[in-house]
């Protein structure tokens, strides 16, 4: 099964679907990621916070496939913002991953109360110039945070990784990013299991109509809007299920019915207030 890729604003390409690893235990990460790679996943999303970069890197190195086939993302955690700390955090992530380069390095949260994200971004620019991160981007940034980067720094983020699922569609951020050539990644694409998304009639009806599962319908709703997704699972059956979303299309009416599920329901912290 081939997963399509899309072009980023710096000319690099990213597979539209990958594997999330938040809460994947460190001691089983290499095994889970190895299984995902055997199934055809080539894009893995991790973070220093997740404590499992070593397992991700090991699975990529042990796959027997060329490094160039993979797209690996990691992120600098909030307590490591500011140029010097971020430079050290990047070295630590690269040591953990055991790779020469990372495909995408992200600022995990803006933490506006700490006012360090501009300085942190300048360090990401230097890291990109060194060639060790092929692309750089942000996560959980609101338009005003992106606007400050645009005013005060040189390189535009390739993408913004934000909480996005049918109950929280973040249209203001999506519109800003689309206008400025910044791609969107949906974190928590299945709602993190925090509300009964997969039982909602709009989803189950589309699943029945297409002979697909509710999770596949929700993931299709994302990729059909060009939102990059990396659902998390540790089960081989679900890993296979979650990537199998490129052989059907939701109708305009099915897309609209799912889009109408917006309720402003946030599962994670509000990035405008989160400064941990
Ligand atoms: P998710 O929406 O991917 O949900 C994961 C949950 O859904 C798990 O409990 C899993 O058991 C269940 N699930 C997976 N496949 C399923 C299926 N086919 N059917 C039924 N249930 C299924 O939530 P997530 O893991 O939080 O988000 C995806 C990834 O996004 C993370 O793993 C991480 O890589 C990233 N993330 C980033 C941030 C950020 O701040 N940048 C925050 C959270 C997550």
Instruction: Note the pLDDT tens digit of each residue in 94-132.
Output: 999 999 999 999 999 999 999 999 999 999 999 999 999
Q: How far apart are CA 61 and CA 67, in angstroms?
A: 8
DSSP states of 193-226: GSS-GGG-HHHHHHHHHHT--HHHHHHHHHHTTT
Residue 104 in contact with ligand 1 by CB distance below 6 A = no
| Cβ of residue 188 lying under 6 Å from some atom of ligand 1 | yes
Answer whether 77 contacts ligand 1 (Cβ < 6 A): no
pLDDT tens digits for range 2-17: 899 999 999 999 999 9
Residue tagged active-site, from 50, 105, 117, 176:
50
Helix (H, G, I), strand (E, B) or coil at 186: strand
Band of pLDDT at residue 1, cut at 50, 70 and 90: confident
- 123: tokens are 């360090």
Q: Residue 195: is its pLDDT beyond 90?
A: yes
- Are the CB atoms for 195 and 10 separated by under 8 Å? no
Q: Which atom of ligand 1 is nearest to the CA of 46?
A: 34
CB atoms near residue 66 (< 10 Å)? 7
Q: From the CB of 159, is ligand 1 less than 6 Å away?
A: no
50 is catalytic: yes
Q: Which two tokens stand for residue 136?
A: 């750089």
- On average, the pLDDT of the chain sits at 98
Euclidean distance between CA atoms 42 and 36, whole angstroms: 8
């Amino acid at each position: 099964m081939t997963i399509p890729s899309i072009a980023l604003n710096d000319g690099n390409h990213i597979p539209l679907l990958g594997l999330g690893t938040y809460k994947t235990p460190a001691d089983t990460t290499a095994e889970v990621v190895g299984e995902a790679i055997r199934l055809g996943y080539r894009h893995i999303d991790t973070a220093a916070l997740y404590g499992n970069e070593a397992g991700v890197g090991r699975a990529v190195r042990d796959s027997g496939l060329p490094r160039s086939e993979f797209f690996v993302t990691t992120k600098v955690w909030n307590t490591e913002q500011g140029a010097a700390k971020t430079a050290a955090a990047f070295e630590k992530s690269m040591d953990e991953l055991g790779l020469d380069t990372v495909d995408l390095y992200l600022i995990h949260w803006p933490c506006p109360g700490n006012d360090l994200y501009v300085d942190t971004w300048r360090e990401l620019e230097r890291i990109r110039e060194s060639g060790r991160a092929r692309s750089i981007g942000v996560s959980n940034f609101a338009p005003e945070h992106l606007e400050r980067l645009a005013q005060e720094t040189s390189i535009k983020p390739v993408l913004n990784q934000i909480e996005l699922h049918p109950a929280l569609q973040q249209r203001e951020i999506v519109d800003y990013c689309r206008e400025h050539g910044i791609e969107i990644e949906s974190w928590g694409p299945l709602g993190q299991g925090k509300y009964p998304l997969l039982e909602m009639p709009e989803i189950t009806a589309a699943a029945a109509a297409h002979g697909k599962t509710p999770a596949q319908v929700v993931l299709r709703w994302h990729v059909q809007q060009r939102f990059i997704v990396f659902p998390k699972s540790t089960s081989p059956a679900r890993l296979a299920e979650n990537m199998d979303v490129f052989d059907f299309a939701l109708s305009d009416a099915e897309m609209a019915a799912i889009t109408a599920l917006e309720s402003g329901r946030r599962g994670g912290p509000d990035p405008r207030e989160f400064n941990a």
